[in-house]
């Protein structure tokens, strides 16, 4: 039962209509607490990836953290302090130039990341897990992408060059993606100056990897199969999907483009093992059916992942 259904049931059965409001407020607070907790987990993962893969190896993977690392080489200040300073400056600029179009969770995530990085640098004195630049680039990018995705899924961000990209977008009419590319290329040039061409290019490669991995992770980690079945045995197939596989389906009415005859199209969404079961059933019981299947990155709703 969904949250709104529970609320409606309580509202209809309760003599005190204030109960539903209290419950909604309580659930709202729980959700907010969960979002901030997951944001903290996400920025912790990002901070650990930076401190144990990128910073010890001089890999400036774009963004404010990469800028901080490149400048640290020149001014000898802890990267965590520079990340905090740069984010504060960017948030102030955003407030005046683009109307503060960012949320409290993004400010919280940015501050928390700086704090966690400072704790690591001050008390743990992290060393590189591996000094192999290729391994650091690959695994560091994966760790940062996981943490960043968790933060993004809480409708937050770690600030940084995404704010700068929005400013560039507003005043220079450049797409945000191009704005991010300009910012990351600037960081790469600084990294080349600070650490040399090889490490600078590894930083650029890491920035590209992180972006692609975040897109992949954000698209969903529970892929499903979208299945269309054109059949003349509607009841047989529908009953099997509903009762044996325990999934729902939608029945559509179609018309053959060549035969001009009316036909039934059944649409359903299944996981991999359920699709194999359905395919074997159709093979043995309705071999004349026409079946198409495509991969979907995620399914949200009843029977799948909650929104």
Write down the pLDDT at residue 118. 92
Write down the pLDDT at residue 282. 93
Three-state SS annotation for 101-122: CCCHHHHHHHHHHHHHHHHHHH
70 Ramachandran zone, left/alpha/beta (phi>0; psi -120 to 50)? alpha
**Nearest 5 degrees, angle CA 198-CA 114-CA 164?**
65
Write down the pLDDT at residue 240. 93
Q: What is the pairing mode between strands 224-231 and 290-296?
A: antiparallel
**Band (138; pLDDT cuts 50, 70, 90):** very high
pLDDT top residue among 257 and 94: 257
For 165-215, what is each residue's pLDDT tens digit? Answer: 777 777 777 766 566 777 778 888 888 888 889 998 998 888 888 888 887
Distance CA 255, CA 247 (A): 25
Strands lying side by side in the sheet with 224-231: 250-255, 262-270, 224-231, 290-296
For 4-60, what is each residue's pLDDT tens digit? Answer: 455 555 545 554 556 667 777 777 788 888 888 998 999 999 999 999 999 999 898
**Nearest 5 degrees, angle CA 23-CA 29-CA 30?**
90
For 248-296, what is each residue's pLDDT tens digit? Answer: 999 998 888 888 888 899 999 998 888 989 999 999 999 999 999 998 8
**140, 123, 114: which is closest to 56 by C-alpha?**
140
Mean pLDDT is highest, among 88-92, 129-133, 184-188, for 129-133
98: pLDDT strictly greater than 90: no
Q: What is the pairing mode between strands 224-231 and 250-255?
A: unpaired
Write down the pLDDT at residue 90. 82
Q: Which ranges in the chain are annotated with CATH 3.30.70.120?
A: 224-296
Compute the residue count for the chain. Answer: 307
What is the percent of the chain with per-residue pLDDT over 70, rounded to a whole number? 87
Write down the pLDDT at residue 235. 92
Residue 93: C-alpha distances to residues 103, 144, 167, 242, 276 (Å)? 15, 26, 8, 56, 54
Crossing angle of helices 18-49 and 3-13, rounded to 10°: 160
Distance CA 284, CA 244 (A): 15
Write down the pLDDT at residue 5. 53
Distance CA 307, CA 228 (A): 24
Here the tokens at position 152 are 């993004």
Write down the pLDDT at residue 307. 62
Residue 199: C-alpha distances to residues 52, 103, 194 (Å)? 16, 34, 9
For 139-168, what is each residue's pLDDT tens digit? Answer: 999 999 899 888 887 877 777 777 777 777
State residue 101 phi and psi, 5-degree precision. -80, 65
Residue 45: C-alpha distances to residues 13, 223, 256 (Å)? 45, 24, 54
**Band (227; pLDDT cuts 50, 70, 90):** very high
Distance CA 173, CA 167 (A): 9
In words, the CATH class of domain 224-296 is: alpha beta
Q: Residue 83: count other Cβ atoms within 10 Å of its Cβ.
A: 28
Distance CA 115, CA 117 (A): 5
* Residue in the structure block whose two tokens are 């991969």: 295
State residue 262 phi and psi, 5-degree precision. -70, 145
Ranges 109-113, 226-230, 303-307: which has the least confidence: 303-307
């Amino acid at each position: 039962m969904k949250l709104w259904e529970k609320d409606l049931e309580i509202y209809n059965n309760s003599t005190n209509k204030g109960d539903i409001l209290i419950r909604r407020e309580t659930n709202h607070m729980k959700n907010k607490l969960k979002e901030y907790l997951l944001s903290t987990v996400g920025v912790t993962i990002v901070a650990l990836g930076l401190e144990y893969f990128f910073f010890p190896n001089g890999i400036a993977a774009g963004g404010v953290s990469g800028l901080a690392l490149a400048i640290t080489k020149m001014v000898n200040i802890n990267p965590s302090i520079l990340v905090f300073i740069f984010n504060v400056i960017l948030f102030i600029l955003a407030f005046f130039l683009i109307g503060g179009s960012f949320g409290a969770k993004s400010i919280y995530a940015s501050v928390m990341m700086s704090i966690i990085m400072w704790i690591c640098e001050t008390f743990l004195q992290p060393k590189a897990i591996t000094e192999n630049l290729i391994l650091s680039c690959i695994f560091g990018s994966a760790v940062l992408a996981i943490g960043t995705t968790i933060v993004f899924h809480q409708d937050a961000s770690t600030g940084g060059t995404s704010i700068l990209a929005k400013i560039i977008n507003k005043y220079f009419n450049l797409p945000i993606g191009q704005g991010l590319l300009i910012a990351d290329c600037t960081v790469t040039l600084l990294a080349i100056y600070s650490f040399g061409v090889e490490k600078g290019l590894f930083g650029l490669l890491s920035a590209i990897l992180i972006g692609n991995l975040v897109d992949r992770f954000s698209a969903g980690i529970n892929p499903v199969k979208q299945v269309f079945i054109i059949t003349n045995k509607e009841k047989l197939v529908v009953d099997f999907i509903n009762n044996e596989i325990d999934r729902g389906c939608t029945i559509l009415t179609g018309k053959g483009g060549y035969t001009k005859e009316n036909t039934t199209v059944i649409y359903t969404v299944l996981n991999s093992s359920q699709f194999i079961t359905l395919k074997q059933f159709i093979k043995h019981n309705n071999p004349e059916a026409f079946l198409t299947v495509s991969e979907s990155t995620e399914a949200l709703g009843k029977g799948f992942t909650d929104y």
